[in-house]
């Protein structure tokens, strides 16, 4: 079980609370429907977090008979709500009192077809998966994850329910559940997982954990309490499940061939070798011995400029590589404006990745492709142009094309994929992070030249261009990376 341990005092307190008269609670769902509950004192009642999760579940629309699993059902009210929405519901809870309470709620509301099991995932193994997840390929899995902090004066419900509510130490339950979902095929190919988490989980932490198990991730809802505590709902799903993921040994250019295809949005094309790979302004792309050369068709229209889009995609690659940097104190990963990722090691700097946005008009529709090329390893000398090449295997010898491609695939889907009844990405936060990454990158060169004149970096504009200042402090808008020369 999760949370606090059990001793004689815990058992005595649990028995004392169970013996009390049940609490009568009236709860109105976000859809306006009222529910009456008689709850033992040891069962978690509907609260603000329940309301937030209920609102998102309602926005998913009709279940249409699809399969749903609630983990940590507590009172059972959300499982009942889902059944009213047309889902075929199963539920589980580690608290046997909660299981009994939920069954009684379902009986009173003519919903005895909801299956409730005792058990669930926790920091220690709580029996086999089949104990609490009877099937595979659920279309919806949701869990109000433990997020409360233990304080000396906290008014807790009881040891059993505390175990389900208090944030665990030493093991990440979000990581645990997405791993179990992946390994046991609990989620259907186009299914959705919804998990309510506390403020201790940063967005980057959630995105990284989800990607390690092959899931895209997006924050859908947030709320805060009077005491400042913040909660959020994170959605996870298999990235671009309805698109094509094609690998070919040799292509002319992954971006060129993908742009000319009729494949749906979200499709990707990767290759071991490009005969005509290119970067900005058609610059030649040389193939390392092992390379990730992959392009994704990410969308048809965006509210942000192509320059910002390119910065965001570069930032995604940087964050992906950071997950595999085994030597963060000696190897620095740098995002260089407008579209390169560099590695700095032992005072030497080399280019490990290039990112390129390209679009093509097809009738009234413009399709956008992001092309990413990463040097993974080499057994021979690479040509040196503006700077030498670097290789991702210096970060982690176990890194591979498949590993890094999956990581990037998940992160791109989390930002760009349209998922039915899931809010689209608000690009403000990721734009700010990408801009900050670009600003950090400008601290790297010892000298910056604009058309052979010394300048200093000033700022990143809202359209992704940068402003530099000459020696007279006159501002210059720079919209072409080729206009700037970086001397390291």
**Residue 290: CATH number of its domain:** 3.30.930.10
d(C-alpha 131, C-alpha 421), whole Å: 31
Distances (CA, A) of 481 to 249, 265, 351, 353, 357: 31, 28, 15, 15, 14
Question: Is residue 2 in some structural domain?
Answer: no
Question: Is residue 1 in some structural domain?
Answer: no
Question: Is residue 213 in some structural domain?
Answer: yes
For residues 372 and 405, membership in a common domain is answered with yes
Structurally, the chain folds into a number of domains equal to 3
> Is the pLDDT assigned to residue 205 strictly greater than 70?
yes
For residues 278 and 306, membership in a common domain is answered with yes
Domain extent for 361: 245-439
For residues 211 and 268, membership in a common domain is answered with no
Over range 210-228, report the average pLDDT: 94
Which of 263-267, 387-391, 453-457, 459-463 has the weakest average pLDDT?
387-391
Question: Is residue 232 in some structural domain?
Answer: yes
For residues 229 and 255, membership in a common domain is answered with no
Question: Which pLDDT score, from 0 to 100, does residue 146 have?
Answer: 87
For residues 46 and 85, membership in a common domain is answered with yes
3-class secondary structure per residue, the chain: CCCCCCCHHHHHHHHHHHHCCCEEEEEECCCCCEEEEEECCCCCCCCHHHHHHHHHHHHCCCCCCCEEEEECCCCCHHHHHHHHCCCEEEEEECCHHHHHHHHHHHHHCCCCCCEEEECCCCCCCCCCHHHCCCCCCEEEEEEECCCECCCCCCCCCCHHHHHHHECCCCCCHHHHHHHHHHHCCCEEEEEEEEEEEECCCCHHHHHHHHHHCCCEEEEEEEEECCCCCEEEEEEEECCCCCCCEEEEEEECCHHHHHHCCCCCCCCEEEEEEECCCECHHHCECCCCCEEEEEEEEEECCCCCCHHHHHHHHHHHHHHHHHCCCCCCCCEEEEEECCCEEEEEECCEEEEEEEEEEEEEEECCEEEEEEEEEEEEECCCCCCCCCCCECCHHHCCCCCCHHHHHHHHHHHHHHHHCCCCCCCCCCHHHHHHHHHHHHHHHCCCCCEEEECCEEEEEEEECCCCCEEEECCCCCEEEECCHHHEEEEC
> Is the pLDDT assigned to residue 163 strictly greater than 60?
no
For residues 395 and 426, membership in a common domain is answered with yes
Q: What is the CATH number of the domain that holds 167?
A: 3.40.50.150
Among 237, 268, 290, which residue terminates a domain?
A: 237
Among 439, 462, 479, which residue terminates a domain?
A: 439
- Mean pLDDT score of the chain: 89
Question: Is residue 3 in some structural domain?
Answer: no
Confidence of residue 276 (pLDDT cuts 50, 70, 90): confident
Question: Is residue 26 in some structural domain?
Answer: yes
More confident residue, 24 or 414: 414
Instruction: Single out the residue of 369, 364, 335, 370 nearest to residue 351, CA to CA.
Output: 335
For residues 199 and 300, membership in a common domain is answered with no
For residues 274 and 231, membership in a common domain is answered with no
Judge whether 188 and 24 are in contact, CB under 8 Å: no
The size of the chain, in residues, is: 488
Question: Is residue 408 in some structural domain?
Answer: yes
Question: Which pLDDT score, from 0 to 100, does residue 384 have?
Answer: 61
> Is the pLDDT assigned to residue 285 strictly greater than 80?
no
Among 191, 218, 237, which residue terminates a domain?
A: 237
Question: Is residue 118 in some structural domain?
Answer: yes
For residues 259 and 173, membership in a common domain is answered with no
Task: State pLDDT tens for residues 110-154.
Answer: 999 999 999 998 766 556 899 999 888 999 999 999 886 655 444
For residues 435 and 453, membership in a common domain is answered with no
For residues 201 and 257, membership in a common domain is answered with no
Question: Which pLDDT score, from 0 to 100, does residue 227 have?
Answer: 81
For residues 110 and 164, membership in a common domain is answered with yes
């Amino acid at each position: 079980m999760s949370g606090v341990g059990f001793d004689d005092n815990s058992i005595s307190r649990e028995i004392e609370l169970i013996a009390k008269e049940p609490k009568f609670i009236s709860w109105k769902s976000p859809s306006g429907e009222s529910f009456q509950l008689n709850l033992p004192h040891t069962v978690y009642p509907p609260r603000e977090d329940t309301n937030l999760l209920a609102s998102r579940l309602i926005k998913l629309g009709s279940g249409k008979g699809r399969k749903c699993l609630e983990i940590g059902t507590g009172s059972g009210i959300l499982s009942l709500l889902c059944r009213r929405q047309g889902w075929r519901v199963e539920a589980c809870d580690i608290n046997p009192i909660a299981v009994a309470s939920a069954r009684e709620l379902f009986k009173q509301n003519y919903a005895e077809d909801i299956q409730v099991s005792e058990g669930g995932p926790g920091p220690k193994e709580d029996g086999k998966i089949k104990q609490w997840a009877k099937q595979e390929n659920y279309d919806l899995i949701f869990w109000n994850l433990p997020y409360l902090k233990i304080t000396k004066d906290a008014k807790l419900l009881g040891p059993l329910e505390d175990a389900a509510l208090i944030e665990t130490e030493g093991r990440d339950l979000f990581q645990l559940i997405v791993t179990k979902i992946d390994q046991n095929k609990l989620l259907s190919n186009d299914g959705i997982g919804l998990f309510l988490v506390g403020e201790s989980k940063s967005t980057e932490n959630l995105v990284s954990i989800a990607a390690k198990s092959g899931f895209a991730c997006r924050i859908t809802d947030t709320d805060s309490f009077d005491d400042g505590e913040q909660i959020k709902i994170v959605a996870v799903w298999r990235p671009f499940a309805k698109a094509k993921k094609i690998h070919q040994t040799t292509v002319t250019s992954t971006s060129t061939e993908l742009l000319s295809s009729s494949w749906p949005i979200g499709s990707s094309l990767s290759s071991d070798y490009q005969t005509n790979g290119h970067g900005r302004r058609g610059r030649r792309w040389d193939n390392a011995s092992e390379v990730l050369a992959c392009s994704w068709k990410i969308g048809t229209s965006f509210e942000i400029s192509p320059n910002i889009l390119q910065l965001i995609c570069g930032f995604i690659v940087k964050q992906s590589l950071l997950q595999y940097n085994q030597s963060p104190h000696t190897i620095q990963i740098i995002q260089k404006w407008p579209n390169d990722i560099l590695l700095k090691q032992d005072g030497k700097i080399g280019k490990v990745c290039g990112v390129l946005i390209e679009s093509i008009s097809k009738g009234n529709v413009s399709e956008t492709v992001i092309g990413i090329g990463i040097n993974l390893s080499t057994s021979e000398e690479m040509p040196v142009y503006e700077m030498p090449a670097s290789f991702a295997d210096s970060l982690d010898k176990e890194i591979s094309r498949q590993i890094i491609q999956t990581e990037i695939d998940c992160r791109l889907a989390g930002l760009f994929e349209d998922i039915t009844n899931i809010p689209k990405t608000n690009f403000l936060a990721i734009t700010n992070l990408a801009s900050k990454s670009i600003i950090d990158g400008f601290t790297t060169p010892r000298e910056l030249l604009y058309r052979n004149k010394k300048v200093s970096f000033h700022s990143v504009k809202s359209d992704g261009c940068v402003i530099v200042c000459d020696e007279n402090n006159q501002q210059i808008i720079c919209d072409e990376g080729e206009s700037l020369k970086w001397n390291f």
